[in-house]
Chain A
Amino acid sequence: MNMFASATAELPLTVLLASPFAGALLLALIGHSRIGAAINVLASAVAAGCSLWLAAIIARDGASTAYGELFFVDPLNVFLVALTAFVGFTTSIFSRPYMRIEVEHGRMTAPRMRLYHAMYQLFLAMMLVALTTNSLGVLWVAMEAATLCTVLLVSIYRTPAALEAGWKYFILCGVAVLQALFGTVLLYLAADRVIGSGAGALLWTHLDAVKTELEPTIMSLAFVFLLLGYGTKAGLVPVHHWLPDAHAEGPTPISAVLSGLLLNVAVYAILRCKVLAEGALGNGLPGRAMVAFGLLSVLLAAFLLHRQRDIKRMFAYSSIEHMGLITFAFGLGGPIANFGGLLHMTMHSLTKSAIFFAVGHAAQKAGTQAMDQIRGLLQISPTVGWGLMIGSLAIVGMPPFGVFASEFVILTSAMRQLPWAAPLLLLALAVAFAAIVARVQPMVFGETAAMKRLPHPPALVPVFTHLGLGLALGLYIPPFLISWYMRAASLIGG
């Protein structure tokens, strides 16, 4: 313990980043073997452990940089790191039986399994890099890489729909990422007038120090490109179109991490840029732009929920809705709204991934993702049924679950800072509520259709772990977590 206590952030960070990379390399070779899944879990577990360790250290001595100034960890991103690593870990646990069943059903072959496992780890690694890096350039590189990792996973089933989804995912996100690159270039352009050219000019720490001196005209353009670029990855309306397809057609564990993690990382990227842009522009324009995108996303997604027939697609739209809510919160700015946004990020990741776990098994049992063919889950397997029911109620903001708490914070701060927006948000929430409950209820309750027994017992520990955490946080947020959020919120400022 002494060794741990005395350690700087560097050691845990190294292990944190190294373990998924190593896992990826290893799995690229033996990912299809029986122990592949185990290795997958192991690597993610190591990462999760290190993330907690890192978090503890940061919580103790505050923000610090590592490897020169290449990496930078502060309360804001370390909290996301912990979240990412944790959900990555639980998802790997879930993916183990799930993918085995997929193999049994003949939807996955050995090479695909190898690809799947390797890419899963690489994806985790890339997101961790994106979160911890200090250079906005590297952030861009990592985001692009994370996209590329998941493209092939989305289309892994090779069905026409899967290919279409993958193709759209690739093209739309590719273009978006290029826009982000252009934004980064402009940022660099603005920076080197102040800091001078060279690697230092893209380092967040430096930029943050001089953000008030950055050239407004350039920064405004830069922010437009960055917002659109990373916003596409975050699934903001009207550049969200890849999201439902990708979520619906990929393997469920991937849907879980896409929805629970990738979107968060994209929002994180937007946040970093927003801080700089606000600093440079001085007016609230970036914030207002985010508010607009957020509102649009919430409203449109809420109504689109009524047209869903595919279960995973429906929850993908719900993800769009919640990302909109988060973006809205950060757009509002101010400590309370930011706090709400961060809290909602956490709650959404936990709850939504839990839902996808349950949905995955439900779809496997019914042998389809079409909602009108899934019926009476409670009869065939109560745990999956209750998991889905409770998860859905949690995600639509029913107390005493955490989503309600964060939504309460966001809505109340909206009432204070942007009164006219609150009714719109609440309307959207009501519409979404009606849609989701109306579809989930008959799937969970009622008479069961003929459902197949699964060759392996489903992994339900992750589901109820997540839901339990959500419930606990909805009732009681431990003080250290609060102070942590608060510091993160103050970092975002606005």
Chain B
Amino acid sequence: MLDLDAILTVIAIWVGVGVAALGAPRNTRFVAHALFPVSAVLSLAITVLALHGVSISPEQRVLPLGLPGLPLHFRIDSLSASFLALIGAVSAGTSVFSAGYVRPGEGTAPGLQCLQYHLFLAAMALVVLADDAYAFMLAWETMALSSYFLVIANHRAAAIRQAGYLYLLLAHIGAIAILLCFGILQASTGDFTFANLRAQTLSPLWGSLAFLLALLGFGAKAGLVPLHVWLPEAHPAAPSPVSALMSGVMLKTAVYALLRITLDLMHLQVWWWGVLLLALGLVTALYGVVFTTVQTDMKRLLAYSSIENVGLVFVGLGLALMFRAYEMPALAALALTAALLHTVAHALFKSLLFLATGTVLHATGERNLGKLGGLIRAMPWVAWLALVGALAASGLPPLAGFVSEWLLLQTFLLTTHLPASFLNMLVPLAAAGVALVAALGAYAMVKFFGVIFLGQPREQKLQHAHDATPLERIGLAWLAALCVGLGLAPIAAIDVIDPVTRMLVGFGLGATVHANGWLVLAPVSLQRASYSPLVFAFAVAAGTLFAVLLVHIVYHARARRAPAWDCGFGQRNARMQDTAEGFGQPIRQIFEPLFRMRRELPSAFDTRPRYRVIVEDHFWHWIYKPVQAMVERAASLAGRVQQGRIAIYLLYSFATLVVMLLLAGR
């Protein structure tokens, strides 16, 4: 049996599992303990099959479904296989977690959520497998629709409904742009199979138009500025496993699709495409990370951090496109590898962190950072596993986040002379931007972890918060392990990515990396740059051990517990710690112009002084509100036509008649 068949079968079973949930939609135990574990196993199966599929030659299948003349085509090649593996790996974690997470609550019934969840998984898998425009759009929109229903799972809250609506609307507008893009790619042949799109060659003008449409469509899904506004609304609204999937995997399907279209379907290469992507990516990353640091809602914070990381990924893509256009395959491969590695890394640590917030939410019922704190004592499992995610998200060695950022910076450094002189100026600037983003990311993550898990509990109820359930722990641990694994053995990941880059830009890092041995990661040569996470980790561990032994053997290990020093003030309480606002305040001050802030400052004479600051996004008022107003205006104009008087209606049809007669008479 072919790989693809097996995968399609597993996907079908996924859907089956979802449908099975309709059997007992309100039976939480059945859904949680029977169905979700099964789907987790299926996810693992998908991962294995996909990892196998990376290296084998492409396979195709045509299902007798869909439109006449355009049945559903599916195809697996190294690109789709690698993304499929990612989907499987992450969803395995989220599914196990969900098994422990699902609770009967108001809003959509567990069974229904289970169905939507599995449709979501299946749709994402089919997106990366689709091999014709119809199948792609079908999967793409189903993905948006199912996730929309999941986002508004708790639909009693008006804010959540608003978020869902905004999300669905932007997704649909994006989908329309994508459809138009396909319309251009088929070059009026009427054949929408990817095979045919591949065969077409476009003029630079039409090609660029198609690229821009694709950028609009997939940018809306990936959350590129200024199309990012739905992310910080939708992610907090959704149940945590869903946020994990959306942020970890769904955003990446946009990356996949953009790669598919620009590097696989289109042969045309224009240098400024890459520059545009690079610039957009940088802006997005900076914008995202700056907003991350000032958030006070833990899931919004993570959502903005997702925007940041997507931005970094697009920086890599931009470089890859640029180098491809300038026929520098080696560099293109390097940039692409960096981008893909970061895609994987972000998928892992971000879903880990979202799941962690889920457990915190269930344990405390709080999303507001200002009311959390000190949870590392109440829920050590979650805390320590989340710490792994947070360190990885801060891009610290030897964890997952660091490798990709390291490779990205290497790409900048190894950039040789580019034809356009201003690009040679742009590249270092971009490198500086990336460095700044990475550093700020660490700031945000310290805030995230420190305010939630460290310090003293800011509320009484946090004292007796319960730790994650065993199944939840498994889910978290799985993702944490993957974070560490990817960080320690990037070469294994590069082996998976190698065929992808060879397929897309005609060059792969695999050979050079292996030339320098399994221990050291050297993308070009040992003399140019090298990094060995294993040795690194070992050295740090050894150093720690050495220090422990030194101190304890040469001296002693006596320690005494005492109350923390209160500087002689006498009454030290949790309110004296930095709040989330306080922790973000310096950044807010430094990057003030980026925000739209409303402050409520207490006057000196307030009996009960309170300070409040609301940080908003400029783009609402720059783009979205005006567009909305425009549509309303157009609607009211159109309304004039229909103003109730029958004589006027008759006049319309009379006038139409006369005009048509005039036209026909000639």
Asked whether any CB of A lies within 8 Å of a CB of B in the complex, the reply is yes
- List residues of A whose CB falls within 8 A of some B CB: 167-168, 171-172, 175-176, 179, 220-221, 223-225, 227-228, 232, 237-239, 241-242, 244, 285, 289, 300, 303-307, 336, 339, 378, 393, 398-400, 404-405, 408-409, 411-413, 415-416, 419, 422-423, 426, 429-431, 433-434, 437-438, 441-442, 445-447, 475-477, 482, 485-486
Within the complex, what minimum Cβ distance (angstroms) separates A390 from chain B?
Answer: 10
* Contact between chains at B176 and A430 (CB < 8 Å): yes
Q: How far is the CA of A104 from the CA of B633 in the complex (A)?
A: 43
CB contacts (< 8 Å) of A228 on chain B: these are: 653, 656-657, 660
Cα A104 to Cα B189 in complex, Å, equals 59
State how many angstroms separate the Cβ of B64 from the closest Cβ of chain A.
Answer: 8
User: A171 near B161 (CB under 8 angstroms)?
Assistant: no
Task: Please pick, from A225, A400, A415, A429, the residue contacting B142 in the complex, using a CB distance under 8 A.
Answer: A400
Collect the chain A residues with CB atoms within 8 Å of residue B637's CB: 303
A446 and B656 alpha carbons, distance in the complex (Å): 45
The 8 closest A-B pairs by CB, nearest first: A445-B155, A415-B183, A306-B635, A303-B638, A220-B664, A241-B649, A482-B68, A399-B141
Please classify the interface of chain B as helix (H, G, I), strand (E, B), loop, or mixed, using the class held by over half of its residues.
helix
Chain B residues numbered 489-528 whose CB sits less than 8 Å from any CB in chain A: none
A205 to chain B, nearest CB (A): 26
Is there a chain A Cβ closer than 8 Å to B460's Cβ? no
B653 touches which one: A176, A300, A336, A437 (CB < 8 A)? A176
Chain A neighbourhood of B641, CB < 8 A: 237-238, 300, 304
B180 touches A422 (CB 8 A): yes
25 A-B contact pairs sorted by A residue (CB < 8 Å)? A171-B646, A172-B650, A175-B650, A221-B664, A224-B663, A224-B664, A232-B653, A239-B652, A239-B656, A307-B635, A336-B190, A398-B145, A399-B138, A408-B179, A409-B67, A415-B180, A419-B188, A422-B183, A423-B180, A430-B172, A434-B631, A437-B169, A446-B156, A475-B65, A476-B65
Q: Given the complex of chains A and B, what is the CA–CA distance between A221 and B184 in angstroms?
A: 38
Whether A447 and B634, one on each chain, are in contact in the complex, defined by CB atoms closer than 8 angstroms, is no
Query: Do A172 and B646 touch (CB < 8 A)?
Result: yes
Contacts of B173 in A (CB 8 A): 430
- CB-contacts of B165-194 with A (<8 A): 165, 168-169, 172-173, 176, 179-180, 183-184, 186, 188-190, 192
Question: Who on chain B is nearest to A482 by CB?
Answer: B68
B626 on interface, CB distance cutoff 8 Å: no
Flag if B137 contacts A408 (CB, 8 Å): yes
Contact (Cβ within 8 A) B68 A426: no
- Cβ of A415 and Cβ of B188 under 8 Å apart? yes
Whether A445 contacts B161 by the Cβ 8 Å rule is yes
> What's the Cα separation between A433 and B650 when bound, in Å?
31
Residue of A nearest to B635 (CB): A306
Residues of B contacting A289 with CB < 8 Å?
A: 660
**In contact, A168 and B646 (Cβ under 8 angstroms):** yes
Partner of B141, one of A244, A404, A419, A426: A404
Smallest CB separation, A181 vs chain B (Å): 14
* A227 neighbours in B (Cβ, 8 Å): 660
Q: Which residues of B contact A167 (CB under 8 A)?
A: 646
Whole-angstrom distance between the Cβ of A92 and the nearest chain B Cβ = 30
Q: Which chain A residue shows the least CB distance to B655? A: A238
Q: Say whether A415 contacts B186, CB under 8 Å.
A: yes
Give A416 to B133 CA distance when docked, in angstroms: 15
Most buried by A among B66, B67, B186, B189: B67
Contact between B137 and A399, CB atoms less than 8 A apart: yes
Contact A241–B642 (Cβ < 8 Å)? yes
B564 CB-CB contact with A under 8 Å: no
**Complex formed: what's the CA distance from A176 to B653 in Å?**
8
A-B contact count (CB 8 A): 154
Judge whether B616 is part of the interface by a CB distance below 8 angstroms. no
Nearest-neighbour CB distance to chain A for B129, whole angstroms, equals 16
Asked if B656 and A238 make an inter-chain contact with CB atoms under 8 angstroms apart, the answer reads: yes
The residues of B that contact A426 with a CB separation of less than 8 Å are 176, 179-180
- CB pair B152–A304 under 8 Å, yes or no, is no
> B653 touching A172 by the CB < 8 A rule?
yes
* A232 / chain B contacts, CB cutoff of 8 Å: 653
Interface residues on B, range: 35 or more
Residues on the A chain within 8 Å of B663, using CB: 224
Bound together, the chains give a CA A167 to CA B176 distance in angstroms of: 40
Q: Is B329 an interface residue (CB 8 A)?
A: no
Expressed in whole angstroms, the Cα–Cα distance for A339 and B152 within the complex equals 37
Residues of B with Cβ closer than 8 Å to A? Answer: 64-69, 134, 137-138, 141-142, 145, 152, 155-156, 158, 161, 164-165, 168-169, 172-173, 176, 179-180, 183-184, 186, 188-190, 192, 631-632, 634-639, 641-642, 646, 649-650, 652-653, 656-657, 660-661, 663-665
Looking at the assembled complex, report how far the CB atom of A490 sits from the nearest CB atom of chain B, in whole angstroms.
Answer: 13
Residue of chain B at shortest CB distance from A438:
B165
- Inter-chain contacts of B165 with A (CB < 8 A): 437-438, 441
- Within the complex, the shortest CB–CB distance from A137 to chain B, in Å, comes to 21
- Contact check, A446 vs B161: say whether CB atoms are below 8 A apart: yes
Q: How far is the CB of A253 from chain B (nearest CB, A)?
A: 25
- B166: shortest Cβ distance to chain A, in Å? 10
Contact: B169 with A476, CB < 8 Å? no
- Residues in B with CB closer than 8 Å to A399 are 137-138, 141-142, 145
**In the complex, what residue of chain B is closest to A426 when comparing beta carbons?**
B176
Tell me whether A223 and B180 are in contact (CB under 8 A): no
Residue of A nearest to B657 (CB): A228
B138 near A400 with CB under 8 A, answer: yes
Contacts of A413 in B (CB 8 A): 190
Determine if A244 and B642 form an interchain contact, defined as CB atoms under 8 angstroms apart.
yes
Q: B18 to chain A: closest CB distance in Å?
A: 14
* In contact, B661 and A224 (Cβ under 8 angstroms): yes
Interchain CB contact (< 8 A) of B66 among A172, A224, A238, A475: A475
Q: Is A303 a contact partner of B183 (Cβ separation < 8 A)?
A: no
Known interface pairs A172-B649, A238-B656; A447-B161 also in contact (CB < 8 Å): no
Contact B172 A433 (CB under 8 A): yes
Evaluate whether A441 and B161 lie within 8 angstroms (CB atoms) in the complex, with A227-B660, A416-B188, A430-B176 already known: yes
How far is it, in angstroms, between the C-alpha of A447 and the C-alpha of B134 when the chains are bound? 37
Chain B residue nearest to A239 in the complex (CB)? B653
**CB <8 Å contact, A446 and B664:** no
C-alpha gap A242/B158 in the complex (Å) = 36
Which B residue sits closest to A435, measured CB to CB? B635
B residues less than 8 Å from A242 (CB atoms): 649
Please name all residues of chain B whose beta carbon is closer than 8 Å to the beta carbon of A172 when the two chains form the complex.
646, 649-650, 653
List the A residue with the shortest CB-CB distance to B140. A399
| In the complex, chain B residues whose CB is within 8 Å of the CB of A422 | 180, 183
- Of A241, A398, A477, which contacts B652 at CB under 8 A? A241
CB distance from A195 to the nearest CB of B (A): 23
Give chain A residues whose Cβ lies under 8 Å from the Cβ of B141.
398-399, 404
Q: Which residues of A lie under 8 Å from residue B653 when comparing CB positions?
A: 172, 175-176, 179, 228, 232, 238-239
- Cα(A486)–Cα(B69), bound, Å: 11
Give the docked Cα–Cα distance between A203 and B148 (Å): 53
Q: Give B175 Cβ to nearest chain A Cβ, in Å.
A: 9
Q: For A336, what are the chain B residues with a Cβ–Cβ distance below 8 Å?
A: 69, 190
- Residue of B at shortest CB range from A240? B642
- B180: chain A residues within 8 A (beta carbon): 415, 422-423, 426
